[in-house]
Amino acid sequence: MRSISIGPGLRSGASWIGCADVATQERFLSELDEGELLALPFLFEFWALPHQLPPEGDWRAWVVMGGRGAGKTRAGAEWVRAKVEGARPLDPGPCARVALVGETIEQVREVMVFGDSGILACSPPDRRPDWEASRKRLIWPNGAVASVRTAHDPDGLRGPQFDAAWVDELAKWKRGRETWDQLQFALRLGERPQVCVTTTPRNVEVLKELLEADSTVLTQAPTEANAANLAGSFLEEVRARYRGTRLGRQELDGVLLADAEGALWTSEMLEAGRLGEAPPLDRIVVGLDPAASSGKGSDECGIVVVGAQCKGPPQDWRAVVLADCTVQGATPGNWARAAISAMERFGADRLVAEVNQGGQMVSEVLRGVDPLVPLKSVHASRGKVARAEPVAALYEQGRVRHLRGLEALEDQMCRMTARGFEGAGSPDRVDALVWALHELMIEPAAHWRAPGLRFL
């Protein structure tokens, strides 16, 4: 897969003209004749954002993946129009048969065909197709036909054949795998049959496999890339509500967040436990998983701040993950200062540090920064998964919640499985989290269930 990410700073030709001075704008418009002025609203290359234009090259599938309102539907509709009209110079000729595939007939009709950014709205009057409701298809003046197909009926793609297809919101189809496979067999007309997929990312196998294919090209953009065409209040509201959450990264930034199969934590679990602000807390600790080396390519030094409400028996306690202060490539002195700074910032009463790799050095480095630091050294006698599983159980019970801004930590959590960590490097952020929650929640519960004997 070839990937092209588009930021909100890039502009279309129309944006540049719109930002020019009045004299330049008037000169631009005065140089257009009447026909050009009438055609201008339908010249998509002039208005399009970079992620809305299909990349050059020989590709089978073009995936437009972005946040809500990033302009994905318009990109798909204009691509169909260009394919039917033969508007792109590298295309071998106009496509004659196009498949419009959505989750339901209603969604194809109301979004892809009749929507504000659908095919009919994008087409100039002299080339606007007619909608045949009885046969669920569009017919263009040049004879091209676009037929509606749905993910509720994958077998409906058996028999017909196409030279192009527009697939909308593939990641939310309940029968996505079956429908996608049948569509591939149907794309067998013309010299170079292609498919445009417009979707918000979701962690589903059919989308992940499509993105991994060598014949796939991806353009990606956040919601803000299309800010000029969105209500300002919408952007303010959704960013205020979802900034710093995994849901916001998926639905607004257009980032595909992968939960490993059999993960100890899932995106849904973490979002269900999201807090806007922390409640009053009785104890706060900082978990520290020191890096074995420093430098650009070294592992991270996990530093995670967790607080707990410790009223009643330990099985009733609740914890809140307050911050991820992890650093990478830091020298021992720097990560020690970062950990102690996190303690001071949140008023933590203890620093819990793993010392398996650093041994006495970890304690010496920390006390070299602050001789009085309240430090508890812990040794990992069990593997990472064995330590993480009882902590994951606390999340399943709804006893641990997260503040916003913990995206990197949560990404690691969603790649921890019973088999180990599904990713490059070491899950140092998760290790730091686990040590903190063991100190706050696991150990007190163990002592409460098995109290020691006291002889008088």
Q: Which of 156, 132, 128 is nearest to 142 (CA)?
A: 128
Stretch among 31-35, 108-112, 115-119, 369-373 having the lowest mean pLDDT: 31-35
The owner of tokens 């040794």 is: 379
pLDDT band at 9 (very low <50, low <70, confident <90, very high): very low
Query: What confidence score (pLDDT) does residue 7 get?
Result: 46
For the entire predicted model, the pTM comes to: 0.65
Q: Are 2-249 and 267-449 equal in CATH topology?
A: no
Residue 456 has pLDDT above 60, yes or no: no
Q: Report the distance separating Cα 359 and Cα 379, nearest Å.
A: 9
The owner of tokens 């992940």 is: 208
Residue 125 vs residues 26, 141, 233, 285, 454: alpha-carbon distances, Å: 26, 11, 33, 66, 91
Q: Report the distance separating Cα 16 and Cα 45, nearest Å.
A: 13
Four-residue CA torsion sign, 253, 254, 255, 258: positive
Contacts of 83 (CB under 8 A, 6+ apart): 91, 94, 95, 98, 164, 194
289 phi, psi to nearest 5 deg = -120, 95
Residue 360 has pLDDT above 50, yes or no: yes
Query: What confidence score (pLDDT) does residue 250 get?
Result: 82
Query: What confidence score (pLDDT) does residue 352 get?
Result: 95
Query: What confidence score (pLDDT) does residue 119 get?
Result: 96
| Domain range annotation of the chain | 2-249, 267-449
For domain 267-449, give the fold.
Nucleotidyltransferase; domain 5 (3.30.420)
> Which CATH code for domain 2-249?
3.40.50.300
The amino acid present at 205, given as its one-letter code, is: E
180 vs 40, higher pLDDT: 180
Residue 395 has pLDDT above 60, yes or no: yes
Q: Which of 439, 434, 441, 404 is nearest to 416 (CA)?
A: 434
pLDDT tens digit sequence for 162-171:
999 999 999 8
At 364, list the tokens.
């010496």
